[in-house]
A = this chain, B = another copy of it.
């Protein structure tokens, strides 16, 4: 059930305060005069709002602008010390934890083994300890910590903070955010891991200013996150973005999900490895994607073919996204975007070959690998996302 936007003075104030904050954040450093021009607010409003934001320590006066004939402009920028955030990424065998500033710059990074006991309480304890030790080691005043973001593979309900299903950890409907919140006494936000990456691209990456874009992750699985009309898209009940499980060939082999012929079963990293392994003796069979790439680089035809085939099928998957959504930007990332010439080039060729008419002309494609830092920064972005979110979203934009 959607609430509708109702207008009153408080909403105006919240909108304009948010407008100023985000304008400064995006431009780096601006004077009040520049803010007046960009925001189209009156000089009086800008003066008052900046005054309040400086008082509340969100903005800092930093130096002066160039001389243009009269009084110099006082430049304002976001106070990076206004607060910090923790980003946690739950991997299969590890917990990755980063403390970042408001621009998602990593101040402190830590990497812990995931407890073998997947009992929620054991892991919650490990997570809260990871937060505390990271903050302590950083030397940052704990009171500056504004919140904790957690990225989890699987299906999450961000509004309620519940992990609906986690394939690695075997959880079902675990109220992870609440369990952590009562221990940490901090806001805790949960999201699907690909969505955290998408959010960080929107706030700090290539997705800034972009109305519609898609992030595709390639690795053990194939995931997808979307920003549509400047908003992170959450499908019905948090389900969506199962790019890895669209049907590529209905007659194909069974996927780990139980369906037949999923894209993932043909094109994700395990499929590439399996393709090579099955045609080799046990000794020199590759065990990881890196092994396959090494083989390919050494000229191994089978490894090359495996990577090329994976790329081609990934390209068809991307073409489906373009044909259906035609976003203005696609960011291809994840641990699997490493074998450029062997895997990514065929992917791009297939994307072009399978996209309707001139649809691709308006789509920019960026390929960028992802490391652990990126995932942790993504999780931390959940906190900044809330912080800088338009009050219209909180009010529930309904048209």
Q: Which residues of chain A have a CB within 8 Å of any CB of chain B?
A: 1-2, 4-9, 11-16, 19, 22-23, 39-41, 165, 209, 211-212, 224, 228-231, 233, 235-237, 239-243, 245-247, 249-250, 257-259, 312, 316, 319-321, 323-328, 353-359, 362-363, 389-390, 392-393, 397-399
Contact = CB atoms under 8 A, between A and B. Distances in A.
A247 B320 contact: yes
Given A211-B2, A246-B320, A257 B7 contact: no
Contact of A4 (B19, B212, B258, B316): B19
Given A240-B324, A246-B324, A324-B242, A7 B13 contact: yes
Identical chains in the assembly: 2
A239 B326 contact: yes
A261 to B, nearest CB: 8
Given A229-B231, A397-B397, A243 B323 contact: yes
Contacts of A246: 319-320, 323-324
Contacts of A231: 229, 399
Contact of A6 (B39, B212, B235): B39
A160 B230 CA distance: 22
Nearest to A213: B236
B397 A235 contact: no
Contacts of A393: 399
B8 A326 contact: no
B4 A240 contact: no
A100 B233 CA distance: 34
A244 B82 CA distance: 50
Contacts of A392: 5, 392, 397, 399
A4 B39 contact: yes
A115 B375 CA distance: 59
A15 B153 CA distance: 39
Contacts of A312: 250
The 10 A-B residue pairs with the shortest CB-CB distance in the complex, in nearest-first order: A235-B326, A7-B12, A7-B15, A236-B362, A236-B328, A240-B326, A245-B356, A230-B399, A239-B326, A242-B323
